[in-house]
Amino acid sequence: MHALTHAHTSHRRLPLMLAGLTAALMPWLAAAQFTQSPLPYAYTALEPQIDAMTMELHYTRHHKAAVDGLNAQIKTYPELATMTIEQVLRQVSKYNTAVRNNGGNHYNHEIFWKVMAPAGQGGKPSEALDAAIKAQFGSMDEFRKQFSAAAMGRFGSGWAWLVVTPDKKLAVTSTPNQDNPLMDLPEITVKGTPILGLDVWEHAYYLSYQNRRGDYVKYWWDVVNWNEVNRRFEEAMR
Ligand code: MN3
């Protein structure tokens, strides 16, 4: 702080200098760090479809590691501290692999926790969403079939998505690893705002289902939180 005690700093200039210093420090004072939203239910809440140990490890280790990894990149890219995760991902091609991987992983899990609820508590698709699904896929059954096929067809690790595309249509897609449909990358062929996402990494299901991804996907439908999907749909359609 030697500038503030410098011999020829008049006390008339001091307030101005303090204001300038505060402005320069704002990005750090704003303490923008990416954080995990609290899990909206207990680790046990999705049993038996998803076991408590899987939920706890997934939330406290896998997701947390992504948040820590993303925050570590603020040193390299200070502007990240003033951006939302959505803003980061929409221009992720400007950043390094660590931002892509950890940023994608953070965003994807934030959605995943929220679009699930204990069986019987997730409501059902709203009239508007139901109509849009029928218009796009023919029926709810056909939509579920296509979404499940996207989840099953993703080789290795990745995600299945229901998105609202820029022209306000629904689409089912899947992405590898930590990628998602918000990312401005040429290999993301279906871009849009995710309103439902399913994690098909083995860490999401291996303890209960071992290699049986098909069973995991089948029972996962029981814990979909349609109330949240409806809310995301409305927001994306605005
Ligand atoms: Mn995961």
pLDDT at 7 over 80: no
Q: How far is the CA of 199 from the centre of ligand 1 (A)?
A: 6
224 within some domain: yes
The pLDDT tens digits of the residues spanning 76-92 come to: 999 999 999 999 999 99
pLDDT band at 17 (very low <50, low <70, confident <90, very high): low
Q: How far is the CA of 212 from the centre of ligand 1 (A)?
A: 16
222 within some domain: yes
37 within some domain: no
Q: How far is the CA of 112 from the centre of ligand 1 (A)?
A: 9
In total, how many domains does the chain have? 1
100 within some domain: yes
Q: What is the CATH number of the domain that holds 144?
A: 3.55.40.20
Percent of the chain exceeding pLDDT 70 equals 87
Q: What is the pLDDT of residue 142?
A: 98
15 within some domain: no
User: Within 13 Å, how many C-alpha atoms sit on residue 9's CB side?
Assistant: 14
Q: How far is the CA of 92 from the centre of ligand 1 (A)?
A: 20
* 3-state class percentages of the chain: helix first, strand second, coil last, to nearest 5: 55, 10, 35
**Which of 118, 165, 122, 174 lies closest to 146 in space, CA to CA?**
174
26 within some domain: no
- Domain extent at residue 66: 47-238
Alpha-helical regions (H) of the chain: 2-5, 14-29, 52-57, 64-72, 85-90, 97-114, 127-137, 140-153, 206-209, 213-220, 226-237
2 within some domain: no
Q: How far is the CA of 181 from the centre of ligand 1 (A)?
A: 16
Place of tokens 């303890």: 207
Q: How far is the CA of 25 from the centre of ligand 1 (A)?
A: 35
**Rounded-to-integer distance, Cα 100 and Cα 89, Å:** 7
Residues with CB under 5 A from ligand 1 (ion): 62, 199, 201
**Could you count the other beta carbons within 10 Å of the beta carbon of residue 236?**
16
pLDDT at 3 over 50: no
24 within some domain: no
